[in-house]
Amino acid sequence: MLQSARVSLPPSAFLLLRYIDLAGPLTVSQLADIVGLHPSTVSSQLRPLVSSEFVLRTIDADDHRIVALSITDAGRSVCDRVRRTGAREWAVALTGWTQEDRNHLGVLVERAQSDMFALIHEKVGAKWQRSED
């Protein structure tokens, strides 16, 4: 999907970008908890996102050890492009499905997404929002 959307990021970096888009701003530790990786691994995966100016790192004024990660307009644009590409590809993939089957799939995806957001909220206490895609 990333290739179809002409996004030259590793899938692991895009996943981090998407989580920051959904839940940001997040600390590196919060993001590491979400994806189940060590913070140093997440930090190295963040480098291409920061250097491409898709993610902004902001140091906390009161505690310089805390760095907040937030998505930039350029990063949000990348996420939107991938979402649009994915929607087009799903539309093609489901052309042979009945409307009833498509509706059923939509209900199940919404349910899974809701449960996943609740799980992550429990895990890191982040403010999760459902995107309006």
**Residue 4: inside a domain:** no
Average pLDDT of the chain to the nearest whole number: 87
Task: Name the domain count of the chain.
Answer: 1
In a domain, 107, yes or no: no
Q: How far apart are CA 106 and CA 35, in angstroms?
A: 25
Q: What is the largest CA-CA distance in the chain?
A: 56
Domain that holds residue 15: 11-93
pLDDT in tens, 34-60: 888 999 999 999 999 999 999 999 988
Any domain includes 119: no
pLDDT band, very low/low/confident/very high, at 132 (cuts 50, 70, 90): very low
Does residue 55 sit within a domain? yes
Distance CA 68, CA 66 (A): 7
H helices of 1-133, in order, are: 11-23, 28-35, 39-51, 73-93, 99-124
- 72-109 residue pLDDT tens: 999 999 999 999 999 999 999 999 999 999 999 999 99
CATH number at residue 78: 1.10.10.10
Show Cβ contacts of residue 105 under 8 Å, excluding neighbours closer than 6 positions: 94, 97
Residue 74 lies inside a defined structural domain of this protein: yes
Q: Does residue 117 fall inside a structural domain?
A: no
Q: Is the pLDDT of residue 69 over 60?
A: yes
Q: Tell me how long the chain is.
A: 133
In-domain check, residue 3: no
122 belongs to a structural domain: no
pLDDT value at position 34?
A: 87
